[in-house]
Amino acid sequence: MADAKKRIVILGSGFGGTYTARHLRRLTRHRNDVEVTLVSRDNYFLMTPLLFEAGSGVLEPRHAVNPLRPLLKGVRFVKAVVKGLDFEKKVVHTEFSEDENHDIEYDHLVIALGGVTNTSIVPGSDNAMRFKTLADAILLRNHVIELFERADVEPDPKRKQALLTFVIVGAGLVGVELIGELDEFLDHLSESYPHIDREQIRLELIEAGPKILPELEPELGEYAKNVYIKRGINVRVGTPVKEIEPTRIHLPDGTTIDSHTIVVATGVAPNPLLKDIAVEKDKKGRIVTEPTMRVKDRPELWALGDSASIPDPQGKPYPPLAQHAIREARVLAHNILAAIDNQPLKPFVYQSLGTLASLGHFKGVGRVLKFHVKGFVAWWIWRSYYLFQMPRWNRRFRIMIDWTVALLFKNDIVKLELFGISRESELADDTREARKPDA
């Protein structure tokens, strides 16, 4: 009977949401008592580790994403922005367009809405760019190319220096990988501009903590730092930025750096939508779940990925990483069906297999199991791993072709004109939400 179906609604099409939907589809192939719906404002899945290359022109930006409809055949997909949740009525309020709203009913709800760049750490972060969504990557790339066009004709040396200074605030995985890829991109870019000397380009990586790449062992962070210093990148540690102005950054010792490109990579804050949800949250504002990813006292509510605080066997929350969200999704899909069938639930237990970071120029660094890997081998493992994490061969082939072309012909340096799209409207909704003063 159609109305006896259990309606599982998943919010968000990132690693958590997309993989949960895929596992549920597989597990319910022979069942007709369950209906799975995925709601997201994007009609694609974004492979965030490939965002760096999408921004630098190595990859065609569309190839860093995967269209959801072919990926999730058998799952109902609704492209809409989630506006609110009503736990009493078991309804998700969504907005299709400004004057078109819809309510979606559920029996089980999975919250996988991810996070936003944390702008609460450094004063003035709203003046900086960020690097989280596909729009952010395209925006940064266009911005950099535009600055080169301006710098190429700029007669004033001081103004030219500010145009050619690139600052990344935050030296965790995202900041470190971003500056490595940016450095490679700027190398290629400068070859096409006769009045820009590579020596005039200044790159700054600024970290408040005592070392870069705190996710890895100190020796590996030190390796990455030395690689960057050799390339001429200025790496500052123990330097909590005092303030960011639109084209100037203030350091604690009174130094200022004039730059037209300041990017904050200062970690993840939860999706602003979670603020209004009446469930237990941790200090960071993430939804606290049981080890099974079920929300306490809400048997019909589940959460995973960057939105969730899922305790490991020692009670410590798992980190907000794709490799965890992918594994969480498998257990969560199993657990929802177990809950529907009145079967016991499994706790999520995962020991990370390692962490890798690309440093650009065919170099990487990281740990795989207990082994430290550096240089070309680390870069190669990093690339191959994420290639195979991208669902569907159709996408993998496109990525491999882009990589081969980039190897032979260098990065694409075309500025994509997004006609009629202002900087603000290019930003993803959660970014705009997060920028509201009360968010």
Q: State the nearest-atom distance from the C-beta of 213 to ligand FAD, in Å.
A: 12
Q: State the nearest-atom distance from the C-beta of 223 to ligand FAD, in Å.
A: 17
Region at 66 (left for phi over 0; alpha for psi -120 to 50; beta for the rest):
beta
Task: Tell me how far apart the alpha carbons of residues 189 and 412 are, in angstroms, rounded to a whole number.
Answer: 9
> Using the 8-state DSSP alphabet, how is residue 34 labeled?
E
Task: Tell me how far apart the alpha carbons of residues 109 and 345 are, in angstroms, rounded to a whole number.
Answer: 16
Q: State the nearest-atom distance from the C-beta of 277 to ligand FAD, in Å.
A: 12
- 15-36 burial: b if 16+ Cβ within 10 Å, else e: bbbbbbbbbbbebbeeeeebbb
Q: State the nearest-atom distance from the C-beta of 189 to ligand FAD, in Å.
A: 20
Q: Which of 168, 201, 163 is nearest to 185 (CA)?
A: 201
Cβ neighbours, 10 Å, residue 420: 6
Task: Tell me how far apart the alpha carbons of residues 144 and 179 are, in angstroms, rounded to a whole number.
Answer: 13
Nearer to ligand FAD, 162 or 270 (CB): 270
Encoding tokens for residue 59? 């990859």
Task: Tell me how far apart the alpha carbons of residues 323 and 173 are, in angstroms, rounded to a whole number.
Answer: 13
Task: Tell me how far apart the alpha carbons of residues 221 and 216 are, in angstroms, rounded to a whole number.
Answer: 6
Nearer to ligand FAD, 66 or 411 (CB): 66
Q: State the nearest-atom distance from the C-beta of 117 to ligand FAD, in Å.
A: 8
- Residues within the interface to ligand FAD (CB under 6 A): 12-17, 40-42, 48-49, 51, 81-82, 112-114, 131-132, 174, 271, 273, 305-307, 320-323, 325, 429-430
Nearer to ligand FAD, 266 or 323 (CB): 323
Q: State the nearest-atom distance from the C-beta of 328 to ligand FAD, in Å.
A: 9
Nearer to ligand FAD, 108 or 324 (CB): 324
| Pairing, β 44-46 against β 65-67 | antiparallel
Nearer to ligand FAD, 114 or 124 (CB): 114
Task: Tell me how far apart the alpha carbons of residues 151 and 5 are, in angstroms, rounded to a whole number.
Answer: 61
Task: Tell me how far apart the alpha carbons of residues 151 and 161 are, in angstroms, rounded to a whole number.
Answer: 8
Across-strand partners of 104? Answer: 92
Task: Tell me how far apart the alpha carbons of residues 66 and 157 are, in angstroms, rounded to a whole number.
Answer: 44
Nearer to ligand FAD, 24 or 273 (CB): 273
Nearer to ligand FAD, 131 or 228 (CB): 131
Token pair 């020692």 is found at 314
Q: State the nearest-atom distance from the C-beta of 97 to ligand FAD, in Å.
A: 13
Nearer to ligand FAD, 162 or 227 (CB): 227
Q: State the nearest-atom distance from the C-beta of 47 to ligand FAD, in Å.
A: 8
